[in-house]
Amino acid sequence: MLASQIGYYSLILSLFFGILIIPISIKNFNNVSQKIDTRIISISFLQFFFVAISFFGLIFSFVNSDFTNETVFNNSHTTKPLFYKISGTWGNHEGSLLLWLLVLTLFIFLFLIKSIKEPKKYRIITLLFQETIIIGFCLFIIKTSSPFNYLFPEPTEGLGLNPILQDPALAIHPPILYLGYVGSSIIFSASLAALTQNYISKNWAKHIKFWILISWFFLTLGIMIGSIWAYYELGWGGFWFWDPVENVSLMPWFCLTALLHCILVLEKKLFYSSWILILSIATFILSMSGTFLVRSGILNSVHTFANDPERGIFILIFLFVLIFISLIIFFTFNKDVHQQSIKISLLSKETSILVNNWFMMYFLSVVLIGTVYPIFLEVLSSQKISVGPPFYHKLIIPFLIPFLIFMSIGPNLNWIKSPIKKIKIQFFLIFLISILTSFLITKKFGNINLLNTILIIVSFYLFFITIKDFFSKENINFSQKISHFGFSLLILSILLNSIFSSEIITNLKVGEKIYFNKTTILFESIENTNSKNYKSIVGNFKIEDNKNNLTKLKPEIRVYDYPFTITSEADIKTNLYSDKFLVMNIVKGNEYFNIRYQVKPFMIWIWISTLLISIGGIFSLFRRLHEK
């Protein structure tokens, strides 16, 4: 009760500070002094501090199960473990927006501290853009989705958190993803500010790269954790479903990855500066559009929060105001005058980075069209169409082939121009090795179509070349090596995983056995157990292959009371080669259980390689901090 009150008033205070900072900044902007007013930094800190208080107020209400708070009532329950009471704070619409706001205010504060060497006017304008976003979010929360609504009389019990959200991966997935999204807001504000101040330079590239790396790192990690959660918890035995909400997080990622590569060019030469601006703006706009699509209820998916048209309209208007502002600024200030005119050879790093960008934009457009087109079509012609995995697979997979080839060759080229002889015999040798490797694989397992064979060849090519690069002395960019190696590993494991996965679905009762791919699956027994907030039925399965290796799997069916939900927890045995995945479901009024058993090769490598990709980003970040 008290915590909620404090939380609510702190939120209003932080809005007040957000508004207060604007006149002070404008005054300071017109001032002759070269230094930024220290009051600005202190107010920015206060703003962050009060949002933090407000956020902790909400956490406190959740921990104490204070059901006079509507958000707590809707999303919590007294029997929930403490960990999920806390993570429940951001497992709902209102709380997660408060978390957005918290990260927004934290990032602008950090930006102000970290950018001391940058010009004053540039910093102030960045702050002003960022404050516009913050105030917008503040108003949005207070007006349409306050997490502190008061309920009277106090309900005795809460409604409970959706059980599929009660999972450790999902407890950390939103905060990490938001760090990525919100990081892109700093890039947005900073690039607009740099544009108005005509400050797009090599120095600016060095400075903004830090923020690009941060937000890219968290976005990659956040997407990965979400995907791990889907794999373990949704029990469909896949890790990517092309669900609109997954797509929405993937789109800024494509943009940000393109930006990350482009900024490398800008660090060296003043190339692509308008393009970089467009990318910086687009990344944030895509993150915001994602918020709109998820929060407005315009899409239906596992992730959608409670639908409320009023919220949708607010975000939509806010989103388009931001788009129009950035458009107008872009067209007024962007003059493209300082573009250096150097001829770049076709065989150069600049060109290969440009090619990378084309591919990223292509993938981005495919995902964008697949996600948004159904909405447009329904509004314009009231036709309903379905866009599912086949669409994305058909449009994306074939284009991976040239993409992977460019990715293998590109990083080994020089800036401006590479002599032809640099494309050494090694490259052809490695190509031959990859053909040989995939030939052996095809021969051993058979039944692989031509497209997949070519894909295996090119991904092995990238794989071998990145390994080779680890031993070459020429290229010192270690973080790039790790990330590219991780990417080649990722493509390879996804490919082998999708080609060699096998599955069986059948009904079994206790004591029955079934043969599948030279293995025996024996359903031994079931046990009933009671946990704090659910009852569970655990099945004991014995899997024996033809070499007499025994695996025991214990899939679980959980029956949650608040709210009443039945979830299936898959049991997964992971080793370096493959995952064994077993999930069971109740067949009503029957002693039979529906069993789904899958063998998924190289599953763990998908996570490891994604981790490697993001570790590459972290390395680069540390190197930058070290250099300073």
Partner 1 sequence: MKNKILLFLSVIFLSFCFIVLYKGLDNSNIYTPKDISKKTLNKFVSREFFSEDMINSEEIFFGNKFYILNIWASWCLPCREEHPALMKLSKKQSVKLIGLNYKDDIKNAKKFIDKFGNPYSIIITDVNGTISIGLGAYGIPETFVLDENKKILKKYIGPLNDQSIKEINLLLK
- Where do contacts with partner 1 occur on this chain (CB under 8 A)? 236, 241, 243-244, 292, 296-301, 307, 309, 312-313, 316, 320, 323-324, 327-328, 331, 334, 374-376, 378-380, 382, 384-388, 390, 504-507, 514, 585, 587-588, 594
CA distances from 125 to 30, 184, 284, 609 (A): 12, 16, 17, 39
User: Tokens standing for 399?
Assistant: 């284009």
List the structure tokens of 338: 């300082």
Q: Strands 556-560, 565-569: parallel, antiparallel or unpaired by DSSP?
A: antiparallel
Cβ–Cβ under 8 Å, residues 162 and 565 = yes
Q: In the complex, what is the shortest distance from the CB of residue 226 to partner 1, in angstroms, rounded to a whole number?
A: 17
First-to-last alpha carbon distance for the chain, in angstroms, is 48
CB of 46 to partner 1, least distance (A): 35
**All residues at 6 or more sequence positions from 506 whose CB lies less than 8 Å from its CB, including other chains:** 514, 594, 595
Query: Nearest approach, Cβ of 588 to partner 1 (angstroms)?
Result: 6
Q: Which is nearer to partner 1, 296 or 356 (CB)?
A: 296
E strand or H helix that includes residue 526: strand 519-530
Minimum CB distance to partner 1, residue 89 (Å): 27
Smallest distance, partner 1 to C-beta of residue 568, A = 9
Give the Cα separation of 499 and 441 in Å (integer).
Answer: 11
- Residue whose CB is less far from partner 1, 16 or 241: 241
Instruction: Give min distance, CB of 324 to partner 1, in A.
Output: 7
CB of 399 to partner 1, least distance (A): 22
The smaller minimum CB distance to partner 1, of residues 384 and 421, is found at: 384
Q: How far is the CB of 590 from partner 1 (least distance, A)?
A: 9
Least Å distance between CB 276 and partner 1?
Answer: 18
Query: 71 near 89, Cβ under 8 Å?
Result: no
Closer residue to partner 1, CB minimum distance, 83 or 236? 236
- 101 contacts 58 by C-beta, under 8 angstroms: no
Q: Which of 607, 582, 566 is nearest to 226 (CA)?
A: 607
235 or 617: whose CB is closer to partner 1? 235
391 CB-contact burial (10 Å; exposed 0-12 / middle 13-18 / buried 19+): middle
Which one, 79 or 301, has the nearer CB to partner 1?
301
Q: Residues 621, 483: contact at Cβ < 8 Å?
A: no
User: Of 384 and 626, which CB lies nearer to partner 1 in the complex structure?
Assistant: 384
Q: Residue 296 is encoded by which pair of tokens?
A: 């407005």
Smaller CB separation from partner 1, 211 or 239: 239
For the purposes of burial, counting CB atoms within 10 Å of the CB of 624, is it exposed (0-12), middle (13-18) or buried (19 or more)? middle
Q: Which is nearer to partner 1, 379 or 432 (CB)?
A: 379
